[in-house]
Amino acid sequence: MSAPQPPEPIPGARLLFSLDPAVSHLNHGSFGAVPVNVQRVQQRLRDEMEANPLRFFGLSLVDRITHTRRHLAAFLGADPDGTALVGNATTGVAVVLQSLGLRPGDEVLTTDHGYGAVGFSVDRECRRTGATRRILPVPLTATDEQVVEIVRAGLRPGRTKLLVVDQLTSATARLFPVAAIVAAARAHGVPVLVDAAHAPGMLATPVASVGADFWVGNLHKWGYAPRGTAALVVAPPWRDRMEPLVVSWEQDAGFPGNVEWQATLDYTSWLAAPAGVWTLRSLGVERVRAHNAALAAYGQRVLGDALGVAPADLPEPGGPTVAMRIVPLPAGLATTIEAARALRERIAEELSAEVAVMSWDGRGWLRLCGQVYNAPHEYERLAARLPALLAQR
């Protein structure tokens, strides 16, 4: 297996961001990074809001949100009439869960690759309704065909009221074959919620290619939108059943307006989000995707070599544009969530590098991302210093 080579940098891309140059920001997937021009667009909107709050929150604001929603839905390949803007993916998940009408004896099915906060949301709704949650283990090395078969075998038609599956997993940076999973579940009459927190901006038209009953994704990660910008997409049969977490003045408008309108919410992040999409397009969407994926692959190999991990033992993400990679940590490290958090903080404090450290399947994993503001030397510097830090157990 030939070693991956770092991509050519995109000229001027680093200057688009206000990130601290003394820190290696190798974890774009957690909170993203907002380009300077997008920050300025949002600040102008905030200035407009503070100059005359009554005018800003007047009747035209609903129209502005609708216009923004249509722009972002087109970028995602989604039906704008079935798309609602929400604060983040976990908010969208909560809207779906509390709208299902779960009852005692019902079941929500997830996998062990799911995002922790989504699991918390499922557990809470199950406690509230008397339903149960069941978790399907999926091996990290499973092929797409094996993943689909594991899910298909785990369905209990008539009892399984919802399947929650990740499009791109946070803990393991794995691209799941969600279109095939949705088809398998639909054949058994089981609706599917796709957690696509990392998909917008990284994957092309991530909604249209899936066809799920529910799909939620963040635009404030790989779509360069301000934080607090996400989309909940609902298939036509379910739209009349969607209820907001908080009832406000657009309740009678139905979905998506009833979910979007929360009175004095700060909507400037949503209204500025198209500027993030414009920035991505100005850099070249395919160019950015290819650059980021290649840089993440290079970083994974550099860190793997430094930690003595054979190339064959470095997990593949399953897609050519996936800009997140994971590296297994030495045995005994970061085996719990608390230990993973502590190690991440040590790396940030002592090595001036921001990474994600995950605890999954009984061992620790270091997750790296590639973004246009990153450079190969940042991964190389971390690789040169990380082994010594890990030896100080």
d(C-alpha 186, C-alpha 213), whole Å = 9
Rounded mean pLDDT, 248-264: 93
Rounded mean pLDDT, 263-269: 93
Confidence (pLDDT) at 205: 85
pLDDT tier at 59 (50, 70, 90 boundaries)? confident
- C-alpha distance from residue 327 to each of 171, 197, 238, 240, 358 (Å): 11, 21, 40, 44, 10
d(C-alpha 358, C-alpha 340), whole Å = 6
d(C-alpha 109, C-alpha 120), whole Å = 13
Tokens representing residue 158 in the block: 């008539």
Confidence (pLDDT) at 351: 98
What CATH number labels 14-34+285-391? Answer: 3.90.1150.10
- Whether 355 and 379 have beta carbons less than 8 Å apart is answered as no
First to last CA, the chain: 32
d(C-alpha 350, C-alpha 388), whole Å = 11
Q: Is the pLDDT of residue 23 over 60?
A: yes
Rounded mean pLDDT, 106-119: 97
d(C-alpha 160, C-alpha 134), whole Å = 9
Give the distance between the most distant pair of CA atoms in the chain: 62
pLDDT of 122-149, one tens digit each?
A: 999 999 999 999 999 999 999 999 999 9
Interacting residues of 105 by C-beta distance below 8 A, sequence separation 6+: 130, 131, 159
Give percent above pLDDT 70 in the chain.
99
pLDDT tier at 230 (50, 70, 90 boundaries)? very high
Task: Residue 27: count other Cβ atoms within 10 Å of its Cβ.
Answer: 22
Q: Is the pLDDT of residue 66 over 90?
A: yes
Domain locations in the chain as residue ranges: 14-34+285-391, 58-263
Ranges 25-29, 112-116, 248-252, 269-273: which has the least confidence: 248-252
Rounded mean pLDDT, 8-15: 96
Confidence (pLDDT) at 1: 55
Task: Residue 66: count other Cβ atoms within 10 Å of its Cβ.
Answer: 16
Fold of 58-263: Aspartate Aminotransferase; domain 2 (3.40.640)
Residue 328, CA atoms < 13 Å, CB-side half-sphere: 16
- C-alpha distance from residue 202 to each of 176, 197, 289, 293 (Å): 14, 10, 6, 9
Rounded mean pLDDT, 35-50: 98
The SS3 assignment for 367 reads strand
Give percent above pLDDT 90 in the chain.
96
Kindly write down the DSSP assignment for every residue of 153-205, as one continuous string. Answer: HH--TTTEEEEEEESB-TTT--B--HHHHHHHHHHTT--EEEE-TT-BTTBSS
Kindly write down the DSSP assignment for every residue of 211-249, as one continuous string. Answer: --SEEEEESSSTT-PPSS-EEEEE-GGGGGG---SS--T
Rounded mean pLDDT, 175-202: 97
Tokens representing residue 58 in the block: 């007047």
